[in-house]
Amino acid sequence: MSDFFGRITVNPKQCGGRPCIRGMRIRVSDVLDLFAAGLSAEQILEEMPDLEADDLKAASSFHNKI
């Protein structure tokens, strides 16, 4: 399992090895899709209450680094 910014994890046994948020079954791509659909950070946090604002920042940073 690899770790990116302490919030993004990649585990081959979870979500097909795709990057997830803090080991939860919420993929980075799910968060990015919500941003692309026009949702604000506040709206995403309402939709996914297990997430924290720093998770959204990490997902965006992860996307920009790869």
**29-50 pLDDT, tens per residue?**
999 999 999 999 999 999 999 9
Number of structural domains the chain divides into:
1
Domain range for 57 is 2-65
Could you tell me what percent of the chain has a pLDDT over 70? 91
Residue 59, token pair as written in the block = 């997902």
At 66, the pLDDT band (50, 70, 90 cuts) reads: low
Specify the CATH number for the domain of residue 23: 1.10.10.10
How many angstroms separate the CA atoms of 19 and 17, rounded?
7
Residue 37's CB: how many other CB atoms inside 10 A? 9
Which pLDDT belongs to residue 14? 94
Going by pLDDT thresholds of 50, 70 and 90, the confidence category of residue 16 is: very high
pLDDT mean across residues, the chain: 91
- Composition of the chain by helix, strand, coil, percent to 5: 50, 15, 40
**What pTM does this model have?**
0.86
Cβ neighbours of residue 35 closer than 8 Å, sequence gap 6 or more: 44, 56, 60
